[in-house]
């Protein structure tokens, strides 16, 4: 089995075909969860599952499974592969879709090679990973892992006022299976990195050993609006300056540490936002991430200490609102080592790395050993039509998945 | 003459009466230049001029003059007092109006005291000082001083699409006099400080010796948008962080210097302004002011040097657009000393100070010796309904103006 490889053409053709579904007249690709475009994408996927002779199962939250089961392994827990096929607005064609179609490709390759797995192998396309239309993101995998009730999830009201359950029923993907019906033996997700590390370092395979914890906060600083010309520097309570100090603090602290902590201030606004008025209010977001929960807590504490000190020094009032908080996820060491071993077996460099973005794998990791394989994203670009991974890298990643699956399904 | 004082009640009554003109049903006061409310305010002012027996003259740009001329001084250049009666949106009642009505009050007091000035004394209400509806601000005094042609000014298109000249004609204030017809011997403007210095220091009189130069720039920093989770700190080109560095640089430099330089960043925006995306672009305004032109140039240079260094260090592109630039104005030392002397004569503390805001006096200073008298603004608040100066301070300022005028008109 070690010499088999996936059918590159079939994988790339399907990726391109799926990437045309939901593309508007203006050329932009958008397949939001539960939309007509999502239905069309799901229909294509299901037709490919059926063409490959897989058993198709759909659960109540709309997760689609293609299961390859043999009479002799039907009693075993399946090895689960997967990702998602919903997209953001104006998306690229790789995010999620690559993992789903490569998983299908791996299963077809094994079937065609008459490989006899010791357990079923299944591919999943989880509902609403992107969370653009319905919050939270990674919803289908979260429900599958039992972290959110199916009925609660189905009642979610979208940004357009629709209800997810009604939309899934409308497009024919409110399935019969109870979420979580498939208990995986292990879970592997192949994905584009969506970051620049592999591309910059010219490493084709990422063996993803963990996934960052995320802390999102909104900071509001209240000072005092005054005339920019008539108020001496010593008499100011400048909320905008205080915000600048926080932005510099976060970046400088993360930049000079030897930890993988990343800190980002992505949104900001000043009030009254007039050229000749000292800002009375500055509001900005803080995105802190770290693969280590203890360190993430320390970074949150360091920010809180800084804000407290700043409030005193600048005579401003600072309030903080927590927007989101996810603990880091540690993936299964055994699977990560299998990924590295598979890369060595194909003469490919591999790098142990951390996922900076959220993925379905972090949800399934709650109920089964899990890990991820990354392939390079050119310039780290994702959630954008310029999202790109070379055909060579796409094929290499799928072959590593093939080898890992063959190993994990062997017993 | 030294023991005469103004009629406090008449001054305060007129201030309150003018402050009710242009007040909407919601209680907000707005008299934009050339509006119906401006007409109503002008009509009240003209009726008071006529009541005081002054000669009313209106020029083509709508500046209104009330001139007290005696047969024996008709050939001399008049001493000019004044300010403006147009307002910002949702204004207080003191900005501008106080200087105009106090000037009228001073002239009436002198007339009633049968004072015999050696030269005519005139009060001016200059058109469109605020510049809210028509740019630039201080337009009427700028035209009077010859800095802008009357026809060009009259052709100005307002924020509401109207043409200033047509609006002035519509409200009956497109006058016959050629702008600049009145050549002042000297000019004095009494005004609320619009800043916190006198109020904080409990000094009732400001002897304004100069007016800050103003440099307005818009800075645009272009970096690279990337995923906040997947992009290591070392691989970022964060336009938002670079902007924060500039804001901190400007404030820290101005705060730690011993100069009166003030630096303000009042407006900011990030693109794409998403919580989990490193800003690709940050745009912000810089307001730099200093009463010394050489130092203002040095501050502009220091900012330019900082931006250049920052662009290299952060791998970002920085462009700067000049929005406005006014050189500082030095007022007439003799008049400033007269103001201080008058304050001493009435047992009032006076402080030499710099005007941080722009005023009509800076325009008239181009053609005549000029100076300003400031009175305290409670908490430094202006351009706001909470703008306030105590009756005691208003009366004291008007009496100082009275004494200075009596001195200057004596020969």
CA distance B277 to chain A (A): 6
**Over 80: is that where the pLDDT of B306 sits?**
yes
> Which residues in chain A are closer than 8 Å to B266, comparing Cβ atoms?
228, 240, 270, 273-279
Do residue A231 and residue B262 have CB atoms under 8 angstroms apart?
Answer: yes
Asked whether residue B189 is assigned to any structural domain, the reply reads: yes
Give yes or no for a contact between B78 and B362, defined as CB atoms under 8 angstroms apart.
Answer: no
Q: What's the first-to-final CA gap in chain A, in angstroms?
A: 14
Q: Using CB atoms, which residue from B240, B254, B274 is nearest to A247? A: B240
State the angle between helix axes of A293-314 and A239-256 in degrees (0 to 180), rounded to the nearest 10: 150
How confident is the model at residue A226, as a pLDDT?
87
- Measured between CB atoms, does A285 come within 8 Å of chain B? yes
| Per-residue pLDDT reduced to its tens digit, B221-250 | 999 988 899 999 999 999 999 999 999 999
Asked whether residue B34 is assigned to any structural domain, the reply reads: yes
**Over 70: is that where the pLDDT of B1 sits?**
no
- Residue of chain A whose Cα is closest to the Cα of B214: A229
Phi, psi angles (nearest 5°) of residue A213: -75, 150
**Over 60: is that where the pLDDT of A2 sits?**
no
User: Which domain CATH number covers A249?
Assistant: 3.30.70.360
Question: What whole-number distance in Å separates Cα of residue A252 and Cα of residue A259?
Answer: 13
| Per-residue pLDDT reduced to its tens digit, B49-96 | 999 999 999 999 999 999 999 999 999 999 999 999 999 999 999 999
* Shared domain check, A283 and A162: no
- Measured between CB atoms, does A206 come within 8 Å of chain B? no
- Residue of chain B whose Cα is closest to the Cα of A217: B275
- Measured between CB atoms, does A136 come within 8 Å of chain B? no
CA distance A257 to chain B (A): 10
Q: Using CB atoms, which residue from B244, B255, B380 is nearest to A231? A: B380
- Measured between CB atoms, does B231 come within 8 Å of chain A? yes
Q: Report the range out of A141-145, A255-259, B320-324 with the highest average pLDDT.
A: A141-145
A window 50-109, beta carbon within 8 A of B: none
CA distance A389 to chain B (A): 16
Q: List C-alpha distances in Å: A336 to A56, A354, A371, A404.
A: 29, 12, 6, 9
Question: What whole-number distance in Å separates Cα of residue B236 and Cα of residue B227?
Answer: 10
CA distance B378 to chain A (A): 12
Q: Using CB atoms, which residue from B251, B279, B380 is nearest to A226? A: B380
Asked whether residue B374 is assigned to any structural domain, the reply reads: yes
Q: Indicate the pLDDT class of residue A276, thresholds 50, 70 and 90.
A: confident
| Per-residue pLDDT reduced to its tens digit, A326-360 | 899 999 999 999 999 999 999 999 999 999 999 99
* pTM listed for this prediction: 0.83
* Shared domain check, A153 and A44: yes
Q: Indicate the pLDDT class of residue B276, thresholds 50, 70 and 90.
A: confident
- Residue of chain A whose Cα is closest to the Cα of B282: A268
> For residue A305, with 0-12 CB atoms within 10 Å meaning exposed, 13-18 middle and 19 or more buried, which class applies?
exposed
For the record, the structure tokens of A315 come out as 């005579």
Give yes or no for a contact between B302 and A266, defined as CB atoms under 8 angstroms apart.
Answer: no
* Shared domain check, B256 and B117: no
What single DSSP character describes residue B117? -
Q: Which of B380, B348, B373, B331 is nearest to B197 (CA)?
A: B380
* Shared domain check, A291 and A385: no
Do residue B227 and residue A357 have CB atoms under 8 angstroms apart?
Answer: yes
Q: Which of A338, A346, A403, A325 is nearest to A369 (CA)?
A: A338
* Shared domain check, A249 and A141: no
Q: List C-alpha distances in Å: A92 to A192, B3, B274.
A: 11, 83, 18
Percent of chain A exceeding pLDDT 90 equals 93
Asked whether residue A3 is assigned to any structural domain, the reply reads: no
Q: Indicate the pLDDT class of residue B12, thresholds 50, 70 and 90.
A: very high
Q: Indicate the pLDDT class of residue A176, thresholds 50, 70 and 90.
A: very high
**Over 80: is that where the pLDDT of A3 sits?**
no
CA distance A200 to chain B (A): 9
Give yes or no for a contact between B342 and B407, defined as CB atoms under 8 angstroms apart.
Answer: yes
Give chain A's domain count.
Answer: 2
Q: Which residues contact A59 (CB under 8 A, 6 or more apart)?
A: A65, A144, A150, A175, A176, A177, A178, A179, A180, A181
CA distance A36 to chain B (A): 27
**Secondary structure of chain A in the HEC alphabet?**
CCCCCCCHHHHHHHHHHHHHCCECCCCCECCCCCCHHHHHHHHHHHHHHHHCCCEEEEECCCCEEEEECCCCCCCCCCEEEEECCCCCCCCCCCCCHHHHHHHHHHHHHHHHCCCCCCCCEEEEECCCCCCCCCCCCCHHHHHHCCCCCHHHHHCCECCCCCEHHHHHHHCCCCCCECCCCCCCCEEEEEEECCCCHHHHHCCCEEEEEEECEEEEEEEEEECCCCECCCCCHHHCCCHHHHHHHHHHHHHHHHHHCCCCCEEECCCEEEECCCCCECCCEEEEEEEEEECCHHHHHHHHHHHHHHHHHHHHHHCCEEEEEEEEEECCEECCHHHHHHHHHHHHHCCCCEEEEEECCCCHHHHHCCCCCEEEEEECCHHHCCCCCCCCCCHHHHHHHHHHHHHHHHHHCCC
> Which residues in chain B are closer than 8 Å to A196, comparing Cβ atoms?
226, 230-232, 235
- Measured between CB atoms, does B262 come within 8 Å of chain A? yes
* Shared domain check, A308 and A368: no
Question: What mean pLDDT is reported for chain A?
Answer: 96
A window 367-386, beta carbon within 8 A of B: 380-383
* Shared domain check, B21 and B134: yes
Do residue A356 and residue B227 have CB atoms under 8 angstroms apart?
Answer: yes
CA distance A293 to chain B (A): 15
* Shared domain check, B102 and B240: no
Question: What whole-number distance in Å separates Cα of residue A357 and Cα of residue A377?
Answer: 13
Asked which of B326, B341, B376 is the last residue of a domain, the reply is B326
**Within a 13 Å sphere around the CA of B108, how many CA atoms are in the beta-carbon half?**
18
Q: Indicate the pLDDT class of residue A1, thresholds 50, 70 and 90.
A: very low
Do residue B276 and residue A266 have CB atoms under 8 angstroms apart?
Answer: yes
Give yes or no for a contact between A123 and A104, defined as CB atoms under 8 angstroms apart.
Answer: yes
Asked whether residue B1 is assigned to any structural domain, the reply reads: no
Question: What whole-number distance in Å separates Cα of residue A4 and Cα of residue A399?
Answer: 8
Q: Indicate the pLDDT class of residue A178, thresholds 50, 70 and 90.
A: very high
Asked which of B274, B296, B326 is the last residue of a domain, the reply is B326
What single DSSP character describes residue B379? G
* Mode of pairing for the β-strands spanning B186-192 and B370-375: parallel
- Measured between CB atoms, does B278 come within 8 Å of chain A? yes
For the record, the structure tokens of A57 come out as 């199962």
* Shared domain check, B224 and B194: no
Phi, psi angles (nearest 5°) of residue A152: -65, -45
| Per-residue pLDDT reduced to its tens digit, A149-160 | 999 999 999 989
Question: Collapsing DSSP states into helix, strand and coil, what is residue B110?
Answer: helix
Asked whether residue A2 is assigned to any structural domain, the reply reads: no
Give yes or no for a contact between B238 and B279, defined as CB atoms under 8 angstroms apart.
Answer: yes
What ipTM was assigned to the predicted interfaces of this complex? 0.83
For the record, the structure tokens of A208 come out as 């993803």
> Torsion angle of alpha carbons B131, B133, B136, B141, nearest 10°?
-60
How confident is the model at residue A375, as a pLDDT?
98
How confident is the model at residue B236, as a pLDDT?
95
How confident is the model at residue A411, as a pLDDT?
84
Q: Give the number of other CB atoms < 10 A from CB of residue A183.
A: 11
Do residue A267 and residue B248 have CB atoms under 8 angstroms apart?
Answer: no
> For residue A175, with 0-12 CB atoms within 10 Å meaning exposed, 13-18 middle and 19 or more buried, which class applies?
buried
Q: Where are the alpha helices (DSSP H) in B276-332?
A: 293-314
Residue range of the domain that includes A188: 8-211+328-408
Do residue B273 and residue A268 have CB atoms under 8 angstroms apart?
Answer: yes
Do residue A275 and residue B269 have CB atoms under 8 angstroms apart?
Answer: no
The mean pLDDT of A82-108, rounded to a whole number, is 97
- Measured between CB atoms, does A276 come within 8 Å of chain B? yes
Give yes or no for a contact between B193 and B336, defined as CB atoms under 8 angstroms apart.
Answer: no
- Measured between CB atoms, does B287 come within 8 Å of chain A? yes
Q: Give the number of other CB atoms < 10 A from CB of residue B28.
A: 12
Asked which of A306, A324, A342 is the last residue of a domain, the reply is A324
How confident is the model at residue B226, as a pLDDT?
87
* Shared domain check, B118 and B147: yes
Do residue B356 and residue A267 have CB atoms under 8 angstroms apart?
Answer: no
Beta carbon pairs, A and B, within 8 Å: 204
Question: What mean pLDDT is reported for chain B?
Answer: 96
Percent of chain B exceeding pLDDT 70 equals 99
Do residue B196 and residue A287 have CB atoms under 8 angstroms apart?
Answer: no
> Torsion angle of alpha carbons B272, B277, B279, B281, nearest 10°?
-30
CA distance B119 to chain A (A): 34
* Shared domain check, B110 and B197: yes
- Measured between CB atoms, does A216 come within 8 Å of chain B? yes
Do residue B264 and residue A244 have CB atoms under 8 angstroms apart?
Answer: no
The mean pLDDT of B114-131, rounded to a whole number, is 96
Q: Give the number of other CB atoms < 10 A from CB of residue A25.
A: 5
Do residue B273 and residue A266 have CB atoms under 8 angstroms apart?
Answer: yes
- Measured between CB atoms, does B277 come within 8 Å of chain A? yes
* Shared domain check, A339 and A295: no
Do residue B227 and residue A279 have CB atoms under 8 angstroms apart?
Answer: no
Question: What whole-number distance in Å separates Cα of residue B296 and Cα of residue A325?
Answer: 47
User: Which domain CATH number covers B193?
Assistant: 3.40.630.10
> Which residues in chain A are closer than 8 Å to B241, comparing Cβ atoms?
247-248, 251, 265
Q: Using CB atoms, which residue from B260, B261, B287 is nearest to A276? A: B287
Report the b/e string of B185-220 with b at 16+ CB within 10 A: bbbbbbbbbbbbbbbeeebbbbbbbbbbbbbbbebb
Asked whether residue B2 is assigned to any structural domain, the reply reads: no
| Per-residue pLDDT reduced to its tens digit, A359-369 | 999 999 999 99
Do residue B227 and residue A380 have CB atoms under 8 angstroms apart?
Answer: yes
- Measured between CB atoms, does A279 come within 8 Å of chain B? yes
Q: Using CB atoms, which residue from A235, A269, A380 is nearest to B230? A: A380
Question: What whole-number distance in Å separates Cα of residue A119 and Cα of residue A255?
Answer: 46
Asked whether residue A1 is assigned to any structural domain, the reply reads: no
| Per-residue pLDDT reduced to its tens digit, B13-41 | 999 999 999 999 999 999 999 999 999 99
Q: Using CB atoms, which residue from B231, B276, B323 is nearest to A380? A: B231
CA distance A5 to chain B (A): 30
Do residue A232 and residue B197 have CB atoms under 8 angstroms apart?
Answer: yes
Residue with tokens 């080898």: A403
Q: Which of A188, A208, A190 is nearest to A353 (CA)?
A: A208
| Per-residue pLDDT reduced to its tens digit, B311-344 | 999 999 999 999 889 899 999 999 999 999 999 9
> Which residues in chain A are closer than 8 Å to B223, comparing Cβ atoms?
none
CA distance B348 to chain A (A): 22
- Measured between CB atoms, does B135 come within 8 Å of chain A? no
């Amino acid at each position: 089995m070690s010499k088999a490889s996936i059918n590159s053409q079939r994988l790339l053709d399907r990726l391109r075909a799926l990437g045309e579904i939901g593309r508007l007249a203006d050329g932009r690709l958008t397949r939001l969860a539960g939309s007509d475009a999502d239905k069309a994408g799901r229909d294509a996927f299901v037709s490919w599952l059926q063409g490959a002779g897989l058993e198709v199962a759909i659960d109540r939250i709309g997760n689609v499974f293609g299961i390859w089961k043999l009479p002799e392994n039907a009693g075993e827990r399946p090895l689960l592969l997967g990702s998602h096929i919903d997209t953001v607005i104006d998306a690229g064609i790789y995010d999620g879709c690559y993992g789903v179609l490569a998983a299908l490709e791996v299963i077809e390759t094994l079937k065609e090679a008459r490989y006899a797995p010791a357990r079923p192998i299944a591919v999943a396309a989880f509902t609403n990973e992107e969370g653009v239309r319905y919050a939270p993101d990674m919803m289908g995998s979260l429900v599958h892992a039992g972290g959110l009730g199916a009925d609660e999830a189905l009642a979610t009201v979208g940004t357009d006022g629709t209800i997810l359950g009604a939309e899934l029923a409308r497009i024919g993907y409110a399935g019969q299976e109870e979420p979580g019906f498939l208990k995986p033996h292990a879970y592997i997700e192949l994905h584009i990195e969506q970051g620049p590390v592999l591309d910059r370092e010219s490493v084709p395979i990422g063996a993803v050993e963990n996934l960052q914890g995320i802390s999102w906060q909104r900071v509001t600083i209240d000072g005092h609006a005054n005339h920019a010309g008539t108020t001496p520097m010593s008499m100011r309570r400048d909320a905008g300056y205080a915000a600048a100090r926080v932005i510099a603090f976060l970046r400088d602290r993360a930049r000079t540490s030897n930890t993988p902590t990343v800190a980002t201030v992505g949104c900001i606004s000043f009030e009254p936002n007039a050229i000749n008025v000292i800002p009375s209010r500055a509001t900005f977001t803080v995105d802190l991430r770290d693969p280590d929960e203890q360190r993430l807590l320390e970074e949150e504490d360091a920010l809180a200490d800084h804000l407290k000190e700043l409030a005193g020094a600048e005579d401003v009032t600072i309030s903080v609102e927590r927007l989101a908080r996810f603990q880091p996820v540690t993936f299964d060491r055994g699977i990560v080592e299998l990924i590295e071993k598979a890369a060595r077996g194909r003469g490919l460099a591999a790098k142990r790395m951390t996922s900076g973005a959220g993925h379905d794998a972090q949800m399934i990791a709650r109920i089964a050993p899990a890990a991820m394989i990354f392939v390079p994203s050119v310039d780290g670009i994702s959630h954008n039509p310029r999202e790109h991974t070379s055909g060579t890298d796409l094929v290499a990643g799928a072959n590593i998945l093939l080898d890992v699956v063959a190993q994990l399904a062997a017993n």
